[in-house]
Chains A and B, each alone.
Chain A
Amino acid sequence: MKCQQCDKQAVFHITELETGEVRELHLCEDHARAYLNQSEGGGGSENEPSGGGLTGPLTVGQTADELAVLDKKACDMCGITFFEFRNLGRLGCPHDYSQFEKELEPLIANVHGATTHTGRRPDRGSTGLPESTAELTSLIGLRRSMQEAIACEDYEVAKQIRDTIRGIEERWLGTGRP
């Protein structure tokens, strides 16, 4: 792939996220350096908003090979790949924040200038709901596995998964159905 600014080979692939809008840049080493200096140095033009790091790079300095490997990484629950997320700008399910934690960290740091929540926490009341929702989120993966088992006509496995799903639903949601 050629650099978007000149005829050299593009070796830097940068994804920017601006208030939900995704923009991809493919640049040679020289133009990438110039671009990154501009977005980090705060010396950009007056029209470029400089606050909040929203115009900063999502993933910085990855080579095409590194990015290709990263792009294939998929969520165990919803199945979204990092490539799909980069294209869409939206994550697939709550588990993505754990699955892609390392990859999301620079992005989130750029957008928010912080990487840890300091605000309110859910008050689960007397419902017995856990504060951490990881077990509930596993239902997303279980439902997907059940569908796959049905598609393969592996009904015994599908039945086992269905029973596991029901167990989790009854335990945390007080219902056999969502």
Chain B
Amino acid sequence: MTHELPMEFDAFTKSTGEWLKGTGPESDIVMSSRVRLARNLAHFPFISRASEQDRTDIERFLRERIATAPLGKELEYIDVGHLESLDRQLLVERQLISREHAEAQGARGVAIDKLEQVSLMVNEEDHLRIQCMHSGLDLHGAWEQIRVVDEQIGKVVPYAFHERWGYLTACPTNVGTGIRVSVMLHLPALVITRQIDKVFRSLQKISLAVRGLYGEGSQAMGDFYQISNQTTLGRTEEELVEQVGDVVPVLIDYERRAREFLVRETSQNVHDQVSRAYGILRTAQTITAEETMQLLSRVRMGVLLGLLGNVDIAQLNSLLVRTQPAHLQKIRGIELDTKDRNIERARYLRQHFG
């Protein structure tokens, strides 16, 4: 079944966020670097205890105060509570809001800058979740940016703060700094050589969490993994940025070595896998989002290993998001069921690779 969709979100379908540009340091393996801070107002209950009126008051208070904060960049405020489900899903696919924020109830919103580097989620699990996302390995750049945004908002908003516990959050797992530092890595060679589980077990031993592409609770798709800190109290923000930052070069080294191994020892096999993936993406008549992600991942590795020419990495990165269900439907301007989406996705991919 199909019907015409409203067009307000068209601008989103014509561009991609800065984090997908594939331009930052080590961007062959590190897709993006993200820092988020959890903050709450001192004079309202946390969200799970807030009444409908509280949520409305929190949303209005934060919306008005954020508008007056000298952030040095223009932000567009989107009233998420009044968006259609598909538009909310679009924001999730672009990593501008979380799945929980999209599916929540009541007054809530998000303020986004033009480059889609900064996003301020209002009434998520905490009253305010600030996020900065950069392309490639740039945790320090993301931290510096979010530090300034947080500082400016903190001057006009009474953040809940406790002498001993630091910034107070709805869940004690975030208390203290309220910081979550994460990098999204593309690790296909570690997956193919079956070393990925061993790597993840080592990460868990040093208090780092591993998640899929779309955050908490999401499964890893297409060999993309998010590595982030688990603890938020007892160390400074800079130390926590370092904790994640220190492990990334090690993971990059493992992945590079695994890629070299694949080329050296199983050259024909890898070339065959990559070429087949490319072949399917160019010719399939119907294809799921999961299979697309998996094949794009293999093609991305093939391009970086020099096995495929004439394919642009930024375009591949962009396709990872643009072949997601909400993007596909917004690009086509019609609502589609799963079966029709798979047909449209295949058509879209053929156009791009044709």
Contact = CB atoms under 8 A, between A and B. Distances in A.
Could you tell me the dominant secondary structure of chain A's interface residues?
loop
A109 B82 CA distance: 40
Interface string A10-24: 000000010110000
B44 to A, nearest CB: 7
A52 B231 CA distance: 7
Contact of A92 (B49, B172, B175): B49
A167 interface: no
Interface string A79-95: 01000000011111110
Contact of A119 (B44, B49, B235): B235
Interface stretch (B25-33, B91-99, B161-169, B331-339): B161-169
A124 interface: yes
28 contacts: A17-B173, A49-B201, A51-B207, A52-B231, A89-B171, A90-B46, A90-B48, A91-B171, A92-B49, A94-B42, A104-B172, A112-B231, A114-B234, A115-B234, A117-B162, A118-B234, A122-B154, A122-B167, A123-B151, A123-B154, A124-B155, A132-B163, A133-B159, A133-B161, A136-B42, A140-B43, A172-B158, A178-B61
Contacts of A94: 40, 42, 46, 160, 162, 168
A116 B61 CA distance: 30
Given A78-B49, A88-B48, A127-B156, A178 B170 contact: no
B164 A124 contact: no
Contacts of B233: 108, 111-112, 114-117
Interface size bracket, B side: 35 or more
B230 A52 contact: yes
B237 interface: yes
Contacts of B167: 117, 122
Nearest to B164: A116
A139 B43 contact: yes
Contact of B162 (A52, A92, A98, A114): A98
Contacts of A108: 165, 172, 175, 233
A122 B172 contact: no
Interface in B146-191: 147, 151, 154-156, 158-168, 170-173, 175-177, 179
Interface of A: 17, 19-20, 46, 49-52, 54, 77-78, 80, 88-94, 97-98, 101, 104, 107-108, 111-127, 129, 131-133, 136-137, 139-140, 172-173, 177-178
B225 to A, nearest CB: 15
B205 interface: yes
Closest A-B pairs by Cβ, 9 of them: A114-B234, A117-B166, A125-B155, A133-B42, A52-B207, A49-B204, A94-B160, A92-B49, A112-B233
Given A98-B162, A136-B42, A137-B43, A112 B234 contact: yes
A137 B48 contact: no
B232 interface: yes
A122 B159 CA distance: 7
A34 B177 CA distance: 34
Contacts of B232: 112
B230 A51 contact: yes
Given A111-B172, A127-B155, A117 B164 contact: yes
A137 B161 CA distance: 10
